[in-house]
Amino acid sequence: MSEVRPPRLFTKFFKWYCKAPLQESILGDLEEAFYTEVESKGQLIARWKYIWTILRFIRPGIVRSLEGTQKLNNYGMIKNNIKIGMRSILRNKVFSILNVTGLSVGLASCLLILIYVKNELSYDTFNANYDRTYRVIQHFGGRGSDLKNEILPTSEYQVWGNAPIAPALQEYYPQIESVFRFTSQFNWLVEYKGNRYQEKDVVFGDSTFYKVFSWDWLAGDAETALVRPSTIILTKKLAEKYFGNENPIGESLLMDGDELFEVTGVFEIPANSHFQVDAIISMSTFKGYRPEIFDAWGYVDFYTYFTLNEQANIHDLGEQIPDFLTKYYDTEYGYTFQFEALKDAYLNSDAGRQPGPVGSKNNIYLFISVAVFILLIACINFVNISTARSIDRAKEVAVRKTLGSRRSPLISQFLIESVLITFFAALVAVLMVSLGHGYLELFIGKQLSVDWLFSPVSLLIGLLLVLLLGVLAGLYPAFILSNYRPLQVLRGSFKNSSKGIWLRKTLVVLQFALSIMLLAGTAIVYQQLNYIRDYDKGFESEQILVIDYGGDYKVKRNIDFIKAELLKHSAVESVSVSRATPGDFFPNAGTTIETPNGEMLAKSPAIYEIDEDFIPTYDMHMVAGRNFSKSFPTDTTKALLVNEATAKLYGYSNPEDIVGKNFSQWGREGKVIGVVEDFNYVSLHSEVEPLALRYSIWWSTEKFSVKLKSTDLGSTLGELEAIWKEAVPSYPFNTYFNDMSFDNQYEADERFGIIFYSFSILAVFVACLGLFGLTIYTTNQRAKEIGIRKVLGASVQRIVTTLSFDFIKLYCIALLLAIPVAYWIMSTWLASFAYQTSIGWQVFGFAASITLAVSLLTMSFKTIGAAMSNPTKILKDE
């Protein structure tokens, strides 16, 4: 008999699900019945019956409920806390709405800023070899300087460099896996089946692009796409523009009207790449056109990127640069280079001639500060309102304590409440973000990926942060509340605790200070952006229409004729032809000019190629010498203009003195004939760099600049287009206004400004919510005082002043704190601009008065109401 036992597994199962008080007798009955069955019907049937009965016992009356047992006791308590929390949230609707609105706006702004910052930081990370991809930054010095062993500040280098360094690097460094070069953008007239457009962002590139950059490859064979000459790969955008839904692979595009390039691939560069191109033509094509520049260490037109193998250390490569230069480089011009990591390309590079727009670290810092400020303000609101309201909960706490609650469950109760509010706020915030995300993308003009937000890890982190935020915001109120002495409270001698007051005041000061800082920041950003926009660039760009013909051969052959045709129109004041216009891309050229002590000094200033009408068309000023002129036929080959910065570069403090000195540049020799006043041809982020202006030969021109008199631009444009079509049927009339294109450079700044303003306003709004809540509270607290004052004859203004005065004191302290901090932060930000507005007292005056006005207005909603109320209503309870 000893072996025959009821199935133990099911006994255990029964014990697990059954209510504890019922277990013993039922199990006893079960076991007794089991043995009776064994004797009468045998073991097998008895076992089955036992199991069957146990299964039949799974019924509502028997199964234990989830709560009420010892093990799950906390659950019951938490459930109760949540219930009480919900009740208290619902009971005080005004404060709950203030709290949730403030926190959710704060959280949403924070999240949006985070999305933006994350996007800025994500640049180039899509590349598989992100961590081991580098680029070459090069420095071109003057004749005779030996720079082999020099390491210059990175701002002295430029990303744009020569061609031969790429194969040389690969040969010299075994650590280098692959090298990829591409050129600067060229203009092409692209045609397919009668559709003809000018494409500006077309580059030549090596066939190794796929080894260095992980772009999305959509069609064709990446490995062979750019090997043969006359092949081109297109971005999806361009492929759709020309081919629509057709398959472009194997089709040919007519380039510049005379060459057929075969489309061998379709690709897409992710939006967060630090450079963008529309199409890439194989480098072998370029080599076919101009083989000589692939050996010229002084010819600059290439961006060089490479990947290292996994063991290599870029530092070792850097140390070998002098040796590399000794081996490969021998000309009389100084030259050196450095490596720059791809991770630094977007945000950390101050090298010149970037292949695309670079981001601004300062802006990111500024945004992060705004995010932190907003969140701080929102949390302060929460803490303030909760502590201020703590008196309303005093009785509840006292009763709980009398009934035996210890302090820690009380603290956890209030923490759960604040976590609940934070949680609601987070839900609302997520809703706001999903609505605001589209607008943010619109403002920034970039695609902002939010996929990462919805990964399980982010959600978990988000949840934890909400928890943390709730606990942090609720900690202080929880401690204050749980500390009340029940005896005092219940006896009725309890008054509003003075303990929380100093903290509440500090927090209000902090909140005022943050708001003032944000507003001052907003004012400074606004002022600086205006300053840049209105800064005298040194030339007149309004009403100048640029006709860009991309250096088209047929146009170039007829320049004089077209110029004359355009000038026939009555609205045209003057026409100039040049290679670049202000704000455009321009080359540099090795230029040797005689210094004051007679030496020939070689430097590499930027150059413009212009005609004699360029300077008058753009209203630039000559400070010394004369402009190019048709009456000096030698001007076309033996004359050079320079700007003031160039005069200084070659050692002339007085621009007059450089006039008449000898120069040689790109195969021309002659005299400097004049000095142009510095005009800002890049952007006001940087100082005016040295510039030499030479007379253009017809084949190097690319653009007409047409100065218009008329204000009726619409019809003039139409008429000019007709003239153009007549004169140049083969090339589209591709135009833009110079001032618009120049201002495009500031588009990023403008957008930054708009976003900054919006978030600042949101922050101040959140701060106002908090102030409003606090005002409601204090006025309620002082209702009796107000009543008595009124009975004794105080006027409405008098009472409003009394009520506001407390806040004004705090405001003054905040003002004193905010000004120096804001000054410091904003001067750091301004430092990234070469031309800075000054931070005047007006900025702070503005911020201070706005903050004061808005706070008084906010408070007045409640204070005036309180002051006008009927004292009998308030005092009748007494």
Which tokens belong to 290?
A: 């101009």
Task: Pick the closest to residue 875 from 774, 775, 777, 782 (CA basis).
Answer: 782
Q: Which stretch binds other proteins (CB under 8 A): 17-25, 183-191, 448-456, 547-555?
A: 17-25
Q: What's the min distance (Å) between Cβ of 58 and other proteins?
A: 8
Map tokens 């929460």 to a residue. 382
In whole angstroms, the minimum distance from the beta carbon of 45 to other proteins comes to: 13
**Contact call for residue 43 and other proteins (CB under 8 A):** no
Stretch that binds other proteins, among 33-41, 255-263, 288-296, 621-629 (CB under 8 A): 33-41
Tokens of 17: 């699900």
Cβ distance to other proteins smaller for residue 32 or 246 = 32
38 forms part of the interface with other proteins (CB under 8 A): no
Quote the least distance from Cβ 70 to other proteins, whole Å: 21
Distance (Å, whole) CA 592 – CA 18: 99
Among 8, 59, 71, 568, binds other proteins (CB under 8 A): 59
- Binding test (CB under 8 A) with other proteins, winner from 43, 53, 170, 780: 53
Which residues face 545 on adjacent strands?
706, 737
The answer to whether the Cα torsion of 579, 581, 587, 592 is positive or negative is positive
The yes or no reply on residue 298 touching other proteins (CB under 8 A) is no
Which of the stretches 50-58, 486-494, 496-504, 688-696 binds other proteins when contact is defined by CB under 8 A? 50-58
Q: Give whichever of 64 and 505 is closer to other proteins, judged by the CB atom.
A: 64
Query: How many CB atoms sit inside 10 A of residue 834's CB?
Result: 14
User: Using the rule CB under 8 A, is 10 a contact of other proteins?
Assistant: no
Segment interacting with other proteins, rule: CB under 8 A, options 54-62, 295-303, 446-454, 869-877:
54-62
Using CB under 8 A as the binding rule, whether residue 30 contacts other proteins is answered as: yes
Among 55-63, 264-272, 505-513, 544-552, the segment contacting other proteins (CB under 8 A)? 55-63
Is 24 a binder of other proteins (CB under 8 A)? yes
Beta carbon nearer to other proteins, 23 or 686: 23
Per the CB < 8 A criterion, the answer to whether 708 and 573 are in contact is yes
Interacting stretch for other proteins, rule CB under 8 A, among 21-29, 82-90, 433-441, 776-784?
A: 21-29
**Residue closer to other proteins (CB basis): 32 or 216:** 32
Could you tell me the smallest distance in angstroms from the CB atom of residue 62 to other proteins? 7
Which segment (49-57, 233-241, 339-347, 480-488) binds other proteins by CB under 8 A?
A: 49-57
Of the candidates 51, 62, 589, 817, which one interacts with other proteins according to CB under 8 A?
A: 62
DSSP 599: -
Q: Using CB under 8 A as the criterion, what x/- string covers residues 261-280 for binding other proteins? A: --------------------
Question: Token pair for residue 530?
Answer: 């205006």
* CA-closest candidate to residue 582, choices 739, 706, 698, 693: 739
User: DSSP alpha helices (H): ranges in 19-153?
Assistant: 20-41, 43-56, 73-91, 93-121
The dihedrals phi and psi of 275, each to the nearest 5 degrees, come to -145, 155
- DSSP percent split of the chain into helix, strand, coil, nearest 5: 55, 15, 30
35 forms part of the interface with other proteins (CB under 8 A)? yes
Residue 314 near residue 341 (C-beta atoms within 8 A) = yes
Q: Which is nearer to other proteins, 54 or 639 (CB)?
A: 54
31 makes contact with other proteins (CB under 8 A): yes
Per CB under 8 A, 51 contacts other proteins: no
Give 735's strand partners: 547
For the record, the structure tokens of 141 come out as 């010095």
Report the C-alpha dihedral over residues 628, 634, 636, 638, rounded to 10 degrees: -100
Residues 148 and 326 sit within 8 Å (Cβ to Cβ): yes
Q: Quick one: how far is CA 479 from the chain centroid? A: 40
Find all residues with CB under 8 Å of 783, minimum gap 6, and list them: 866, 869, 874
DSSP assigned state of 761:
H
Task: Select from 18-26, 249-257, 537-545, 795-803 the region that touches other proteins (CB under 8 A).
Answer: 18-26
Nearer to other proteins, 36 or 458 (CB): 36
Q: Closest approach of Cβ 67 to other proteins, in Å?
A: 19
Torsion of CA 704, 710, 712, 714, to 10 degrees: -10
Closer residue to other proteins (CB): 26 or 813: 26
Rank residues 26 and 432 by Cβ distance to other proteins and give the closer one.
Answer: 26
**What pairs with residue 591 in β-bridges?**
603, 665
The least distance separating other proteins from the CB of residue 57, rounded to whole angstroms, comes to 4
Cα–Cα distance, 622 to 628 (Å, whole number): 11
Number of shown-chain residues binding other proteins (CB under 8 A): 20
Task: Look up residue 63 and give its two tokens.
Answer: 């199964």
Q: What are phi and psi of 670, to 5 degrees?
A: 170, -150
Q: What distance in Å separates the CA atoms of residue 438 and residue 448, rounded to the nearest whole number? A: 9
Q: Out of 4, 15, 28, 463, which residue is the one contacting other proteins (CB under 8 A)?
A: 28
616 residue type, one letter: P
Window of 20-28, 313-321, 348-356, 493-501 that interacts with other proteins by CB under 8 A: 20-28
Nearer to other proteins, 57 or 443 (CB): 57
Question: What's the rounded Cα separation, in Å, for the pair 638 and 632?
Answer: 10
Q: How far is the CB of 23 from other proteins (least distance, A)?
A: 9
Of 60 and 793, nearer to other proteins (C-beta) is 60
What is the binding site for other proteins (CB under 8 A)? 22, 24-33, 35-36, 52-53, 56-57, 59, 61-62
